[in-house]
Structure 1
Amino acid sequence: MVYIAHVRESDKEIQTVSEHLNGVKHLAEVFGGKLGLMHVAGLAGLLHDLGKYTDIFQKYIEQVAFHPDTAEMKRGEVDHSTAGGKLLFSMFHNEKNTPYEKLLTEIVGNAIISHHSNLHDYISPDINSDFLRRVRDKDLDGYSLAVERFFEEVITEKDFKQYVSNALDELMHFMDSSPTQIFFLTKYIFSCLVDADRTDTRQFEEKLREVQDSQNENLFASYYQKLMNKLNSFKKDKSSNEQINKLRQEMSEQCDLFADKPSGIYTLSIPTGGGKTLASLRYALKHAQKFNKQRIIYVVPFTTIIEQNAEEVRTILEDDIHILEHHSNVIDEVEEEDELSDGLITKRERLKLARDNWDSPVIFTTMVQFLNVFYAKGNRNTRRLHNLSHSVLIFDEVQKVPTKSVSLFNEALNFLKKDAHSSILLCTATQPTLEHVNHFLLKNRDGEIVQNLSEVSRAFKRVEVIDRTGKQMNNNQLADWVHTNAESWQSTLVILNTKSVVKELYEALKNSPLPVYHLSTSMCAAHRKDILNEIRELLENKTPFICLTTQLIEAGVDVSFKCVIRSLAGLDSIAQAAGRCNRHGEDDVQDVYVIDHVDEKLSKLKEIKTGKEITGNVLARYKKKADEYDKSLLSQTAMDEYFQHYYKKMEADLNYYIPKVEKDMTKLLMTTRRESDYFKAYEKKYKTKFPLALTGSYKTAADHFQVIDQQTTSVIVPYGEGKEIIAKLNSVERIEDLSKLLKQAQQYTVNLYSQALRQLKQDNAIVPHLEGMIYELRENWYSEDYGVDLKGEGEMGFMSF
């Protein structure tokens, strides 16, 4: 008898269970082998769909694939994920088994039973074990017969036991038994399984040959030569002998020399305008070649700067193919425990398979996406994790790590350094003191690449920070001040803390005789890019104008204004705002004004409010003892003082507290049995010894994790090519074409908070596509001035000022 795993919808071709299990096993072995865990990951692949050997699944797949009109069973009705975990548990988690056999069973078993949902809780807040419910307690129709068929068709029981023995050897060699490491190990094995499963399924669906793990050594060598050609061309410029350009060259060369050091966590504190992007790329390309790294990943705080950085790198490396920009997940996936991808590969399944797994040689992504890989629910995030190993990760503007995620960020980086053979570069002119918190970052000693940092900072001084916070200012006063002085200031940038006050200020100034521009995260990336291009043209022509925005412009956007006004916030934000003034030293020292804006409502913006208070204290001390700060409010001394006070004040918020379960996320994921309240409560509740080694609440943590305070949904907006992309997404069939379109669609999406999305749905402003997995915004709800317009009064005409 032929046992079916998948049926290709296009031609009804069959992939057998044996073919699929062996295909996924092989891919998982390749992915797991990167950490010396070939058999551990392969074991998950070998067992993950064992449940498809049951008669009930075979009856089900026969019905839905070949007789859908008369099918009695619904999709997702048959559990095929539990059987593999159950077999492992029954064979290797008994009293006679060793602690490592039990640990292997718990780690691999959780990955198996979760490969269509999220990793399960070993103990949940309601003091139950979802893991035990699945692998020990659940009765499965036809389970014994499925196991018999598995040992007949896939692997003999003797060979299977030997395979498990090999996995145990790997696990014992890898482990240091810390709960933190076990969490990341489990996520890594889960990532290997999910990506292997989806990759094998895609290969069958698309009739593709086997895809080997990428080897990018030759590509990186070519990139390095192109970069060096570009850097050498700078030396021929007449200005190359100027002090600033000499310093840029020196810092770039220091990055090159530093690349010969072993992988670790290092800092690159190049001042604004010091050539940070190319210097960090130089380090990454050389280090990747020397230490056989597989990819280079740039992680930036905001989507607004991905396009700029990626375009700069793409132009120098002369490559449009191998550089991925990953802004956001365009598809809205409802995460639920089901058996989707259960055999019949529909259009919905092809969309899932089309999601990128970060196997490109060079990737640009956001901090949100990076943290989601480790901590968010949804297999679309987790499948990327294994591709972070053996990589060079460059965190641009690292001070923007969300405060509540600081501990989680540090632990993820520690895993990548210690266990995943990756090298990490923390880039910013305002380095945060991440090594001085409870879950501290394992920075390398003497890990700063730039030598004589104080001297370099003085040489790069471009601005004078002028404290105007003595008297608060409202929007009317600010508008009058800007209106009166903008002509003499020439190009003027105003950065405020909330979108609402920026919008009000724009309304007050938009009829000014000078051009007035508004930038907002309510605009899609393509829209902001077009506005920034116009702004750069005005800057080049030295035409006076005004630009109003929030902090989105602060991190890495390469624009240089004559004057900047910044509403009081964290000292790092003020320093980043100052980086948009006289950025390239075109003029003598220019002014950056710090004001205290009275109209901003910060009660729900705790990070900004706290940063504002601490900066106010630093300003007061600076007035009295400027010498202690090297006579610069933006010195590293001032920044260290600011961050140490900030993290101390926010100490209770660094571990991602979850109010609903009254626990820090770090405790849900990384606590020992001895420390676990849930472990003690379980033994008290059931009056029996808890049978598992692990006590983590992985599913609970993932269910409550979101990097930004409110959940957002990506909506494709009617700007530029947005409408055309929607039309193509509705008609395209091939997974490869879907993948390309989803990447293009990122440029035309806006992330909406749930409240805004609800309002737009009520107003019939949202059009769902592809079974509600992709959303489109109707035209009247998108404005040229503001982006998404909740009032439905948007107009898209030509830019006019």
Structure 2
Amino acid sequence: MSFVAHIREADQAIQTIEEHLLGVKEIAEAIGHKIGVKHIAGLAGMLHDMGKYSSDFQQYIRDAVENPNEPPKRGSVDHSTAGGKLLFNLFHVNVKDQYKVILAEIVGNTIISHHAYLHDFIDPQLDSPYIRRVRDKDNFPDYLNAKRLFFEKCMPEEELQKYINKATDELKQFLHNTPPQKYEEQYMFLSKYVFSALIDADRTNTRLFEENKSQENNAHSELFTSYYQNLMNKIMSFQTHPAANHSINKLRAEMSNQCDAFAERPSGIYTLSIPTGGGKTLASLRYALKHTIKYNKKRIIYIVPFTTIIEQNAEEVRSILGDDSNLLEHHSNVLNEIDENDEHEDGRMNKKQKLKLAKDNWDSPIIFTTMVQFLEVFYSKSSRNIRRLHNLSEAVIIFDEVQKVPIRCVSLFNQALNFLKNKCHSSLVLCTATQPALDFVDNKLELNSDAEMVQNLNHVSEAFKRVEIIDRATERELNNVELAEWISTMLDTLDSILVIFNTKTVVKDLYQRLKENNSNVNIYHLSTSMCAAHRNQILKQVREDLHEGRQVVCVSSQLIEAGVDVSFECVIRSLAGLDSIAQAAGRCNRHGEQELQQVYVIDHKEENLKYLKEIAIGKRITKQLLIDLKRDPDSHGGNILSIQAMDRFFQRYYEEFETDLNYFISNLEKDMTEILSAPKREYSFAKAYCKKTGNWPPLMITNSYHTAAKYFKVINNTTTSVLVPYDVGKEIITELNGYQRIEEISQFFKKAQHYTINLYKYEIDELDKNNNLVSLMDGQVLALTEGAYSLEYGLDIEGEGELEFHLV
């Protein structure tokens, strides 16, 4: 008799359980091998579907396929508990080796969780969901038979013991040189890594079977060598440019050479503090490619704060490397995962199953994504996100504008980077003109000694000075009526002005006023209400106007201030954090076209920052620094953009948020860092359990992974990705429900990135109420109707947009 794991949709071919388990084991081993945990990850892969050997499951899957019109009752068979139960019974019943107990808990938790998310060992109710599954759940009448068949078909018991011994040795080596007070932190990251390996291996093996394909080769070493040569050819071409000997260009070349030389150093955590306009993208790419070749890294990942930086930087890199197919732009998760637990599907390969299996695991050689996506890989409650985690190992990861790490995520960010450095053999580059003090928190970032790539930063900063900051913020507040009049007057002597605000409402209002009063000037509006493709088109028009010398005013939210390569004669920036002021200044006289141009800092009367705490506090601190300079022109280095002023800003900024830096969860009155990684004897839930029962929990690990993930949000208000009917987006929406093959759906995820926007719940509710939202792919993808998207503003929540589609 064949014991069935999957039945292929196309030809009803059978994948046996042993074929699936050994196939997943092989992929998981390769993933685990990258960080020295080959057998730990392989153990999870080999045992994860052991429960499918039960007669109940075999009847269940055959009934589901043979009787599609009358499928068996969902939830009738649990097949993910058996493997975790086996490990618990082997090592928890008679505790002899604490390392084997820890191994059983880490691997067992990943196994019982592989259709949802990692379980809590102790939850806020002082119960143990893990223990309930592996010890107390008693509805496995066929467990002993499933165990017997596993040993008979997959691996004899004595061979399993030898395999577990190897996994135990790996665990000991993984913890080597780790202080005991940091063990729980390492358990947490190892659990997440093994969980990532299992999720990706399971879905990859199932997808390959469904597509009737063999294992794919994802080696990229030859690509990186050709990429580096293409980049160097581009850099050599700069030497023949007429302006090659300009002092700024010579300094850019010098810093680029320093990055190339720095790539010879071993992997670690480093800083790259090139000023705005200093050629940061090419210099960091040069470091990354050379370091990748020398140390055999598997991929290069750019992490940026805003999707606008993805669009521009990816296009620049794509044009230099001469390759589009191997560069992934990952703006957001187009797929909205609805069901937390998908174990109890009815066995048929429906669209929901295909969406789950689609290739979305960050295995491309070069990836551009956002800080939100990076943090969600480590901490959010989504198997789609954590599936990508293992591909952050053996990588060069460049954090562009790292000062934008959300305040409450600073400790979590530092812990993740330390893990990637110490255990995952990755090299991390903190790349910004305004380096924040990320070591201000208890969970400090382990920066390498002599971490800065660029020498003589004070000289470099002075050489790149192209603007003067004009303080209007300490004089009086301004409203949009006054601003519109002032800008109209400035246009008598200026050809280009950029205005940057903190809120979209004020952006839209000023844009409308300027359009009414300046009919001969090209006025543009930019905000995150527009999808990436739409913003790109607007920016293309802006650059064309700037190049042709036409009069242009662009009114934008802060998305334009970080990394977008535009250069205006004048910038007006609404008061915000000093790092934002510095980034806005980088959009003025960017290439030194004039000797010195003006950046005006204003205090806007109509901006509502009630729900934007970080911006509001940054604004207040910056205003105080401006007042200090007004009273004493020599204070803070005599310049609001000096290194001294920036250091002072971040010191005060982090002091203001001292209680938030460890991600405080108000519902539980606990820091997330405690919930994830506090030692057992110090963990408040474990201590409360002991007080309640009179005994410590019967566990080596007591932390609450599921609870932490449940409360984790990079930003306070959760957003949902929605497809928009802009340009090609209309075709994507029309074709989406027609996609049948998993490969087509995988391509959809990549293609759709440029045609999504992220909406808050109240926006979703309003659109739904006005019938301006459509549900696709069984509700897992949302899209706007045509009337809900405007060519001027993007999202039109009232549904009165007039959109002309230009299909290409």
Aligned to 1:649: 656
8 Å Cα contact 1:51/1:81 also seen in 2 = yes
Q: Does 1:255 align with 2:254?
A: no
Q: CA deviation at 1:126?
A: 1.0
CA deviations over 1:724-768 (Å, ceiling 9, x no partner): 112222112221221112211111111111111011111111111
Q: Hey, what's the Cα distance between the residues in 2 that align with 1:703 and 1:663?
A: 14
1:321-470 alignment runs, 5 A limit: 321-339=325-343, 343-469=347-473, 470=475
Report the number of matched residues.
Answer: 797
Q: Hey, what's the Cα distance between the residues in 2 that align with 1:137 and 1:318?
A: 58
Judge which range, 733-742 or 280-289, deviates more.
Answer: 733-742
Judge which range, 504-513 or 334-343, deviates more.
Answer: 334-343
Q: Does 1:584 align with 2:584?
A: no
Q: CA deviation at 1:338?
A: 3.4
- The structure-2 alpha-carbon separation of the partners of 1:572 and 1:101, relative to structure 1 and needing over 3 Å to count, comes to same
8 Å Cα contact 1:466/1:591 also seen in 2 = yes
Match of 2:617 among 598, 604, 610: 610
Match of 1:271 among 258, 270, 275: 275
Q: CA deviation at 1:343?
A: 4.3
Q: Hey, what's the Cα distance between the residues in 1 that align with 2:507 and 2:332?
A: 25
8 Å Cα contact 2:76/2:344 also seen in 1 = no
Q: CA deviation at 1:340?
A: 5.0
Structure 2: 5+ residue stretches without partners:
none
- The structure-2 alpha-carbon separation of the partners of 1:605 and 1:396, relative to structure 1 and needing over 3 Å to count, comes to same
Aligned to 2:578: 571
Q: Per the alignment, in what secondary structure is the counterpart of residue 493 of structure 2? A: helix
Q: CA deviation at 1:675?
A: 1.2
8 Å Cα contact 2:686/2:696 also seen in 1 = no
1:648-727 alignment runs, 5 A limit: 648-727=655-734
Q: Hey, what's the Cα distance between the residues in 2 that align with 1:355 and 1:652?
A: 40
Aligned to 1:23: 23
Match of 2:488 among 456, 463, 483: 483
Aligned to 1:208: 213
Q: CA deviation at 1:786?
A: 1.2
Q: Hey, what's the Cα distance between the residues in 1 that align with 2:758 and 2:226?
A: 37
Q: Does 1:319 align with 2:326?
A: no
8 Å Cα contact 1:5/1:343 also seen in 2 = no
Q: Per the alignment, in what secondary structure is the counterpart of residue 600 of structure 1? A: coil
Q: Hey, what's the Cα distance between the residues in 1 that align with 2:359 and 2:659?
A: 36
8 Å Cα contact 1:77/1:339 also seen in 2 = no
Q: CA deviation at 1:346?
A: 2.0
Q: Which runs of 4+ in 1 moved over 3 A?
A: 340-344, 624-631
> What is the identity, as a one-letter code, of the residue corresponding to 1:190?
F
Q: Per the alignment, in what secondary structure is the counterpart of residue 545 of structure 2? A: helix
Q: CA deviation at 1:355?
A: 4.0
CA deviations over 1:11-40 (Å, ceiling 9, x no partner): 211111110000000000000000110000
Q: Hey, what's the Cα distance between the residues in 2 that align with 1:626 and 1:9?
A: 74
RMSD: 1.3
Q: CA deviation at 1:409?
A: 0.7
> What is the identity, as a one-letter code, of the residue corresponding to 1:120?
H
Q: Hey, what's the Cα distance between the residues in 2 that align with 1:149 and 1:561?
A: 71
Q: Does 1:770 align with 2:774?
A: no
Q: CA deviation at 1:683?
A: 1.7
Q: CA deviation at 1:217?
A: 2.1
Q: Per the alignment, in what secondary structure is the counterpart of residue 439 of structure 2? A: helix
Q: Per the alignment, in what secondary structure is the counterpart of residue 518 of structure 1? A: strand
Q: CA deviation at 1:488?
A: 1.8
Aligned to 2:188: 183
8 Å Cα contact 2:74/2:345 also seen in 1 = no
Q: Hey, what's the Cα distance between the residues in 2 that align with 1:328 and 1:76?
A: 31
Q: CA deviation at 1:342?
A: 6.9
Match of 1:495 among 491, 497, 500: 500
Aligned to 2:510: 505
CA deviations over 1:108-166 (Å, ceiling 9, x no partner): 01100010101000111111110111111101231111101111100000001111111
Q: Hey, what's the Cα distance between the residues in 1 that align with 2:86 and 2:106?
A: 14
Q: Hey, what's the Cα distance between the residues in 2 that align with 1:685 and 1:594?
A: 58
1:66-77 alignment runs, 5 A limit: 66-71=66-71, 73-77=72-76
Q: CA deviation at 1:695?
A: 1.3
8 Å Cα contact 1:324/1:360 also seen in 2 = yes
Q: Hey, what's the Cα distance between the residues in 2 that align with 1:414 and 1:528?
A: 35
> What is the identity, as a one-letter code, of the residue corresponding to 1:31?
I
> What is the identity, as a one-letter code, of the residue corresponding to 2:141?
D
Judge which range, 91-100 or 143-152, deviates more.
Answer: 91-100
Q: Per the alignment, in what secondary structure is the counterpart of residue 731 of structure 1? A: coil
Q: Does 1:243 align with 2:250?
A: no
> What is the identity, as a one-letter code, of the residue corresponding to 1:77?
S
Q: Hey, what's the Cα distance between the residues in 2 that align with 1:487 and 1:153?
A: 83
Match of 2:224 among 220, 224, 230: 220
8 Å Cα contact 2:284/2:398 also seen in 1 = yes
Q: Per the alignment, in what secondary structure is the counterpart of residue 238 of structure 1? A: coil
Identical residues among aligned pairs (%): 58
8 Å Cα contact 1:501/1:599 also seen in 2 = yes
Q: Does 1:303 align with 2:302?
A: no
> What is the identity, as a one-letter code, of the residue corresponding to 2:326?
H
Q: CA deviation at 1:423?
A: 0.3
8 Å Cα contact 1:393/1:423 also seen in 2 = yes
Aligned to 2:542: 535
Aligned to 1:64: 64
**What's the TM-score, normalizing by structure 2?**
0.97
> What is the identity, as a one-letter code, of the residue corresponding to 1:135?
V
CA deviations over 1:532-569 (Å, ceiling 9, x no partner): 00000110011112111111101101111111000110
Q: Hey, what's the Cα distance between the residues in 2 that align with 1:388 and 1:625?
A: 47
Q: Per the alignment, in what secondary structure is the counterpart of residue 372 of structure 1? A: helix
Q: CA deviation at 1:628?
A: 4.7
Q: Per the alignment, in what secondary structure is the counterpart of residue 782 of structure 2? A: strand
Aligned to 1:197: 202
- The structure-2 alpha-carbon separation of the partners of 1:264 and 1:664, relative to structure 1 and needing over 3 Å to count, comes to same
Q: Does 1:233 align with 2:240?
A: no
Q: Per the alignment, in what secondary structure is the counterpart of residue 775 of structure 1? A: strand
Q: Hey, what's the Cα distance between the residues in 2 that align with 1:36 and 1:578?
A: 46
Match of 1:517 among 512, 521, 524: 524
CA deviations over 1:494-552 (Å, ceiling 9, x no partner): 11111111111122222222221110101111111110000001100111121111111
CA deviations over 1:395-450 (Å, ceiling 9, x no partner): 01111111111111111001001111000111110111102222111111211111
Q: Does 1:159 align with 2:159?
A: yes
Q: Hey, what's the Cα distance between the residues in 2 that align with 1:771 and 1:532?
A: 35
Q: Per the alignment, in what secondary structure is the counterpart of residue 571 of structure 2? A: strand
Q: CA deviation at 1:797?
A: 4.4
Q: Hey, what's the Cα distance between the residues in 2 that align with 1:657 and 1:681?
A: 19
Q: Per the alignment, in what secondary structure is the counterpart of residue 638 of structure 2? A: coil
Match of 1:282 among 273, 286, 289: 286
Q: CA deviation at 1:220?
A: 1.1
8 Å Cα contact 2:18/2:153 also seen in 1 = yes
Q: Hey, what's the Cα distance between the residues in 2 that align with 1:342 and 1:64?
A: 6
Aligned to 1:79: 78
Structure 1: 5+ residue stretches without partners:
none
**What's the TM-score, normalizing by structure 1?**
0.98
Q: Hey, what's the Cα distance between the residues in 2 that align with 1:340 and 1:648?
A: 48
8 Å Cα contact 2:64/2:346 also seen in 1 = no
8 Å Cα contact 2:95/2:101 also seen in 1 = no
Aligned to 1:600: 607
Q: Hey, what's the Cα distance between the residues in 1 that align with 2:271 and 2:345?
A: 43
8 Å Cα contact 2:727/2:805 also seen in 1 = no
Q: Per the alignment, in what secondary structure is the counterpart of residue 173 of structure 1? A: helix
Aligned to 1:145: 145
8 Å Cα contact 2:360/2:749 also seen in 1 = no
Q: Per the alignment, in what secondary structure is the counterpart of residue 276 of structure 2? A: coil
